[in-house]
Amino acid sequence: MTLRECYEKLGGDYEGTLGRLSSEKLVQKFVMKFLADDSFALLEESMAAGNYNEAFRAAHTLKGVSLNLGFTRLYENSNELTEALRGGEKPENEALLGKVKEEYQRTIDIIQELQNG
């Protein structure tokens, strides 16, 4: 699997990301690093603990990273959750976390596929 194929599978913005980060090597490097990023784990934990301020920050972080890496769907889902959590509010729509989780898992799986060649 190539990096481009990985992005196609993700529904991500490969051309845009390559243009912004200027080299395929860099994009690949940071996509791989995303595997080790624990923003989502922090998001899940803080949601479970009812700490919505921390959940907001984690969702915001996840949103920023996925935005910068061109993970369009993950960005959209995490953005929705971020806005729902703004001000430390408990989200009215409880399905939002599930949507983020589903897309996060899918993303990780596809990147791992890329990693395994």
Partner 1 sequence: MRSKVLIVDDLELNREMLSAILENDYPILEADSGKKAIAMIQKYQEEIAVVLLDLIMPEVDGFMVLEVMRNQSWLKTIPVLVITAESKAEVESKCFEMGVSDFIKKPFDNAIVRNRVKNIVDLFLYKNNLEEKVEKQTETLKKQYKLLVMQAERLKESNVRIIDILGTVVECRNLESGEHIKRVKSFTRILAEQMMNDYPEYGLNQEKIEVIVSASALHDIGKIAIPDNILLKPARLTKDEYEYMKSHTTRGCEVLDNVEGVWDETYSKISYEICRHHHERYDGKGYPDGLAGEEIPISAQLVGLADAYDALVSERVYKSAYSEDEAFHMIVSGECGVFSPKLLECFRRVKKKFEDLNHELKKKQEEFR
Question: Which residues here bind partner 1, judged by CB under 8 A?
Answer: 16-17, 19-22, 26, 29-30, 33-34, 37, 39, 54, 56-57, 60-61, 63-65, 67-70
Q: Which is nearer to partner 1, 63 or 91 (CB)?
A: 63
Nearest to 113 by CA among 21, 37, 5: 5
Q: Is 2 or 53 the residue whose CB approaches partner 1 more closely? A: 53
CB of 70 to partner 1, least distance (A): 7
Q: What is the C-alpha to C-alpha distance for residues 28 and 50, in angstroms, rounded to an integer? A: 35
Query: What are the counts of helices (DSSP H) followed by strands (DSSP E) for the chain?
Result: 7, 0
CB of 67 to partner 1, least distance (A): 5
H/E stretch holding 75 reads: helix 72-85
